[in-house]
């Protein structure tokens, strides 16, 4: 069976700098997979290549077995790929409810409609509201995003992505910028996501990684260093070297 997401020989060069070199990666259906690595390892570049925000220099990207390497971002989203951002990337001047409505209108294919008023699309609004209820932030529905505390905005990030009903969800540091006292809510929400969504989580916080992931890939200097179960990764001396800063070139 084909993987939910697969990359083969994925490369990205900025001039002479290789930020992704020959990445062969598989994300199984329903996976809980973490991508970790030190700062500058190329984790966000990898996400941007997969979503189509960046064009790869070489290699292929497959979604559900289909080649999407040449497709623009919007087409990949239509095929079930969604992402959240490391730094909140929301419609700050709009209400929480309308933020989610945007995603749902696009998924239902009504967002380009110029004739009917948006308010007459009851199905869009109801689905958006239901999505907020599932994440426990329905109370914030009428508030403007910019009026919410940062941690709550992180949940809206998730709600917008979930509004797309993705098959593959890329979470770029979902708890970044949230005080540790509040990150628990975010972890709970991620844990409660439907099992058929394949999750790829980029994270710095190792507690969070070991709690959420059943499989971990370690990226160093744009290349995969090692992949394995959390136990294998925790015991791997090369990973310890990278993370404890003991790495010395021979």
Partner 1 sequence: MTSETAAPLAVEALVRGHRLRLVEIAPWLIGGLAYFLFPDYLALGAQILIGIIFSLSLDLILGYAGIVTLGQAAFFGAGAYTAGLLAAHGWGEPLSALVAAGAVAAILGLISGAIILRTRGLTLLMLTLMISFMLQEAANKAGSITGGADGLQGMAVWPVLGVFHFDLYGRTAYLYCLAVLFLAWLAARRIVHSPFGRSLTGIRENEARMHAIGSPVFGRRLVIYTIAAAFAGVAGALLAQTTQFVALEVLSFERSGAGLIMLIIGGVGRLYGPFIGVPLYMIAQDRFAQADPVYWDFWIGLLLILVVVFARGGVLGLADQLRRRLRRTR
Q: Which residues bind partner 1 (CB under 8 A)?
A: 51, 53, 73-78, 82-83, 85, 89-98, 101-103, 105-107, 110-122, 124-126, 129, 133, 138-142, 160-161, 163-164
3-class secondary-structure state, position 36: strand
**Closest distance between partner 1 and the C-beta of residue 100, in Å?**
10
Tell me how far apart the alpha carbons of residues 163 and 132 are, in angstroms, rounded to a whole number: 9
- Shortest approach of partner 1 to residue 80 CB, angstroms? 10
Q: Work out how close the CB of 161 gets to partner 1 at its nearest, in angstroms, rounded to a whole number.
A: 8
Identify the DSSP state of 85. Answer: -
Two tokens, residue 117: 């008023």
When the beta carbons of 23 and 135 are compared against partner 1, the nearer one is 135
- The nearer residue to partner 1, 143 or 211, going by C-beta atoms, is 143
Task: Between 98 and 203, name the residue whose CB sits nearer to partner 1.
Answer: 98
The residue among 246, 61, 86 whose CA lies nearest residue 168 is 61
State which residue, 144 or 226, has the beta carbon closest to partner 1: 144
- 3-state SS of 56-81 is CCEEEEEECCEECCCCCHHHHHHCCE
**Which lies closer to partner 1 via its Cβ, residue 160 or residue 239?**
160
Nearer to partner 1 (CB atom), residue 102 or residue 224: 102
The closest of 66, 54, 41, 24 to 168, measured between CA atoms, is 66
Least separation in angstroms between residue 197's CB and partner 1 is 16
Q: How many other CB atoms are found less than 10 A from the CB of residue 38? A: 15
How far apart are CB 218 and partner 1 at their closest, in Å? 26
Our CB check for partner 1 shows the closer of 32 and 121 to be 121
Are 94 and 83 in contact by the 8 Å Cβ rule? The answer is no
43: Cβ contacts below 8 Å, ≥ 6 apart: 35, 36, 37, 172, 202, 219
Minimum Å distance from CB 137 to partner 1? Answer: 9
At a CB cut-off of 8 Å and minimum separation 6, what does 219 contact?
23, 35, 36, 37, 41, 42, 43, 46, 225
CB of 189 to partner 1, least distance (A): 15
């Amino acid at each position: 069976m084909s993987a939910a997401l697969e990359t083969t020989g994925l490369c990205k060069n900025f001039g002479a700098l290789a930020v992704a070199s020959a990445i062969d990666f598989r994300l199984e259906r329903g996976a809980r997979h973490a991508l970790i690595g030190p700062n500058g390892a190329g984790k966000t570049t990898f996400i941007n290549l997969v979503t189509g925000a960046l064009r790869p220099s070489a290699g292929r990207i497959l979604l559900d077995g289909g080649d999407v390497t040449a497709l623009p971002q919007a087409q990949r989203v239509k095929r079930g790929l969604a992402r959240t951002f490391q730094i909140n990337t929301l419609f700050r001047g709009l209400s929480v409810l309308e933020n989610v409505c945007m995603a749902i209108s696009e998924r239902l294919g009504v967002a380009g409609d110029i004739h009917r008023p948006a308010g007459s699309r009851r199905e869009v609004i109801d689905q958006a509201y239901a999505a907020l209820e599932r994440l426990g932030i329905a109370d914030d529905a009428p508030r403007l995003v910019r009026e919410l505390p940062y941690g709550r905005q992180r949940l809206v990030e998730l709600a917008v992505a979930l509004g797309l009903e993705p098959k593959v969800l890329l979470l770029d540091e979902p708890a970044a910028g949230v005080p540790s006292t509040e990150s628990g809510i975010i972890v709970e929400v991620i844990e409660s996501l439907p099992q058929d969504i394949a999750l790829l989580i980029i994270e710095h916080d190792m507690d969070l990684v070991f709690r959420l992931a059943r499989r971990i890939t370690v990226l160093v200097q744009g290349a995969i260093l090692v992949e394995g179960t959390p136990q294998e990764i925790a015991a791997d001396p090369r990973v310890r070297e990278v993370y404890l800063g003991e790495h010395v070139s021979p």
